[in-house]
Structure 1
């Protein structure tokens, strides 16, 4: 295993052996506490293959009384899983639509969105039963990615309702990122939302949730200094190269992969004195375009290994699903370099550089997890801004939860109003039949009187129902009204008010 020193910090690839622990939050929780929640507080846990099933609180009580929708997030990220696990669940951008279609066909979900980046893979779901959804979604991950559940399950975290909302808002704001305050995640959240809308899998609830998440992300960056001087993964990779070589003047670098991440890295390389710059990409036109923009040289993707002998640093960020840089290719390049050191910074997920390269003499490989050591100080400098962002997140979570909890009230209010109108119309028409001599104008006065009485009777209960939806135990009062007036809310009516 290769290791290197960054300042006074020695870096070795982290090897995590366990997943997070905690509990599944429920709908009865109050406001989020000030300050950052730990991963343990926000996640569920399981023993072996059996999930710890939540049986108390509002969620359990509501389950037996009437249909309810839940928000559920299932995922893993750089905090809970090493890169060798994250890459197993990574979904290439071009397959997200396919994954959404299969997920909705195979698992009982009302709405779904998938967020997959180099540092996280998450499902954001609207479901009827979170226990069934947990099992179904986990099984889907196993089938879709073709991997064994035991390889990833212990690294998963689960968020329900309020915790789900807070998590997505923190992700969008950049405070849950490996590099706190980085801006790329906001565009990635938007891209996930755009695909979900295009696939018609983000309707009422996820549409509202993601719109608000994007708003939180923008507010966090304009109302605080969370992004001021923030590193990106690409710039952090360059900083790592500088700690290895010192001054980059006169160094030759090859960029393998000319996507957004590669382009950002290229800009930082040029700003730090690189004199020779090679670009290899599957699309030679794209490689030529990027090389021309930065004064570099394009290289055919299938011949990149022939140029390894000519560079000091290779920064790799392709979207290939397999290893691109092999041990044999590097061994040959090292012999031609007369064993001069060759450094690889692999910021791709899945990884581009075969792990066996690490075992070669004078070959040093750093992956996306190693970059965490570079940005540790960056996080410490941003702690005060994180607290300010948390205040924004907390307020926005409260606002969303008021809206979300109100969804349970709307079909009940509609049913109550409809019942009152039916009784009013029936009684008024019966009375009018007993008074056949009334003029048309007099009949309209009677009908208006009935309508006015019904509205005044309903006003206080409806106001109370709307207010109760914002309280922790509001579902109890909603259920009481439902039983008192013998209201039956059909699934069709509920869907009409929830967009399901």
Structure 2
């Protein structure tokens, strides 16, 4: 069995391709069920977000699996031909597929490194796959581990702690000045998009009250309803500044709306309690001379951008720590997956030994009809003890050597020594059955008219 991923993301495809390939949430279940009708596809998970569409699958054969998933994507999105789709796809298998999933879950592959939304989206995709029974032992283990890795990255690094958007950088600075925003008042002057985003972030952080003013009174009323705040007449907002701990300014004015004298009067009325002013306007709407007013802290768009760039660099440093965690955790999963290779042999060996024991005990008992029930139990126990002791060391050796460079040789030797490959049908478990259940049972046959190995074109392919 092989774990593979085929997909595209913001790194490989423009938005016009990504939006055509995206699968609506309401159709993911149906798409997963259809994915498992492709021969050789044993397990499947579909991750579809605004920045990526990826199919994770457990397949019998790597090349055949790549072709089937590419075909599935083309069949699912008739607006895209295979020729349009293929140049944007990436392909990974084995350790690279596992590492890719771990990096995606930990937001190391996101447009904004450290963002938290992708982990929730992966969890949702996993829940849908579980509900439609398209995952089995391998996929369940790997996805659960990916979620665990993402949580470890967030716990052991600071990858998500530093703001990397201008609007959230404003909130981060406000928290440094006031620490607790619960009882603070925000005055929003104007309705620029970044200012509104900053206001939303402040509200999410528990800011106590929002007051809003714009040149258009009706617009102020509408925004106040949106944010659960209070509208303020534009001609009165300078007087209202004294009640504001945080002043966010974002208008289209070409001159300074707030001067140093305006801020000085507000600070005096506040009895020198600190005031935080954020000017996201271009041109600036707050006179830079405000920086000289005691207990007034002014930051403009360049200050915020500088903060963002500094934080982005720090996030990248934290991302290096996270990448090392991914490598470590991939090794853990690879060892587990190698251990699956020996499971069918161990199961077959135990079944063969049990069958031989049962047959010999039955023949012996037929000649010892005079034995009591208690004596029969003693004979059966003796036979079981002998068989278990004979195969015990073999099973221990197989388990201990499976992750070594000679693991495959030990498995092959055991199968030859005990003649396990000649067992009758039903005497022991096959590799598929021991490793995991198929995503749909029974597995549908090859659909009529399909080639045994579809052409996969000049795709870029990465294998372990």
What TM bracket, shorter-length normalisation?
0.5 to 0.7
1:453 — aligned with what?
A: 386
Query: 1:60-71 maps to which residues of 2 (within 5 A)?
Result: 69-71=1-3
The Cα of 1:288 is off from its aligned counterpart by 9.9
Q: Select 1:149's aligned residue among 78, 82, 90.
A: 82
RMSD between aligned residues:
4.1
Structure 2 residue 184 is matched with structure 1 residue 252: no
The Cα of 1:289 is off from its aligned counterpart by 11
1:191 — aligned with what?
A: 124
Provide the secondary structure at the position in 2 that maps to 1:105: coil
1:87 — aligned with what?
A: 19
Q: Select 2:55's aligned residue among 123, 128, 144.
A: 123
Kept in 2, the 8 Å contact 1:113–1:124? The answer is yes
Deviates more, 1:154-163 or 1:403-412: 403-412
Structure 2 residue 29 is matched with structure 1 residue 97: yes
Provide the secondary structure at the position in 2 that maps to 1:175: coil
Structure 2 residue 226 is matched with structure 1 residue 291: yes
Kept in 1, the 8 Å contact 2:32–2:44? The answer is yes
The one-character-per-residue Cα deviations of 1:319-351 (angstroms, maximum 9, x if unpaired) are xxxxxxxxxxxxxxxxxxxxxx9xxxxxxxxxx
Deviates more, 1:411-420 or 1:472-481: 472-481
User: Which one has the largest radius of gyration?
Assistant: 2
Higher relative contact order (CA 8 A, sep 6+): 2
The Cα of 1:215 is off from its aligned counterpart by 1.0
Deviates more, 1:474-483 or 1:268-277: 268-277
Deviates more, 1:436-445 or 1:134-143: 436-445
Change (3 A) 1:454 1:277: farther
Query: 1:48-447 maps to which residues of 2 (within 5 A)?
Result: 69-106=1-38, 108-145=40-77, 146-231=79-164, 235=168, 250-253=189-192, 267-268=200-201, 291-293=226-228, 378-447=311-380
Query: Distance in 1 between the 2:41 and 2:198 partners?
Result: 39
Provide the secondary structure at the position in 2 that maps to 1:185: helix
Kept in 2, the 8 Å contact 1:109–1:126? The answer is yes
Kept in 2, the 8 Å contact 1:182–1:232? The answer is no
The Cα of 1:420 is off from its aligned counterpart by 0.4
Change (3 A) 1:264 1:144: farther
The Cα of 1:100 is off from its aligned counterpart by 1.6
Query: Distance in 1 between the 2:162 and 2:10 partners?
Result: 22
Provide the secondary structure at the position in 2 that maps to 1:477: helix
Change (3 A) 1:228 1:75: same
| TM-score normalised by structure 1 residue count | 0.59
Kept in 1, the 8 Å contact 2:164–2:312? The answer is no
Q: Select 1:495's aligned residue among 426, 430, 433.
A: 433
Kept in 1, the 8 Å contact 2:28–2:128? The answer is yes
Q: Which runs of 5+ in 2 are unaligned?
A: 173-186, 217-221, 232-250, 253-281, 283-305, 439-464
| TM-score normalised by structure 2 residue count | 0.63
Kept in 2, the 8 Å contact 1:277–1:295? The answer is no
Kept in 2, the 8 Å contact 1:252–1:277? The answer is no
Kept in 1, the 8 Å contact 2:9–2:18? The answer is yes
Query: Distance in 2 between the 1:290 and 1:450 partners?
Result: 81
Query: Distance in 2 between the 1:445 and 1:269 partners?
Result: 76
Kept in 2, the 8 Å contact 1:180–1:230? The answer is no
Kept in 1, the 8 Å contact 2:3–2:58? The answer is yes
2:409 — aligned with what?
A: 476
